[in-house]
Amino acid sequence: MGDVKLAFVVQKPQYKGETSRLAITHAIAYQTVEILLEDGDTVTPTLCFVGEGVLGLQKGQKAMDLYEVTSTETHLKNCLLVDLDVLVCKEDLAKYGISEDMMPDAEDMGADKKIKVAPFSEIQKAMEDAKHILFF
């Protein structure tokens, strides 16, 4: 079957329910799925944030200090480290006044990959290109 492309679309905000956080950790799991697949088979998620899903992506999160729980920021950095494509909806960031430089990167951990601010049309395209769509 070769590669199967997936679009993970996160529309619920972080720190409300578990869903939007689990979207990220499930996407990261693509890295270890090969142990359960035939040789040559892969799964490639594209992680997209839209609507209220773009909230909770800002850097400087003190979740571990204050609540002893891994921050979304840390999870996002891990995504970049394992080379996942992360798209954040440009229109929705503008709507909430969140600029690109307010979001984290993982340069300090050696990741080249960066969060990509993308128009909704590009997220729509990711959904069209994917075999399956998963809404979180």
Q: Which residues bind another protein (CB under 8 A)?
A: 1, 4, 6, 9, 11-23, 25-26, 28-30, 32-33, 35-37, 41, 43, 45, 50-52, 55-56, 58-71, 73, 75, 95-98, 102, 120, 124, 127-128, 130-136
What would you measure as the largest C-alpha separation in the chain, in angstroms? 45
CB-wise, 94 or 107, nearer to another protein?
A: 94
Q: Distance between CA 136 and CA 130 in Å, rounded?
A: 16
The distance of closest approach from Cβ of residue 121 to another protein in the complex, given in angstroms and rounded to an integer, is: 9
Nearer to another protein, 69 or 112 (CB): 69
CA atoms within 13 A on the CB side of 120: 11
Q: Which residue has the tokens 């999870």?
A: 75
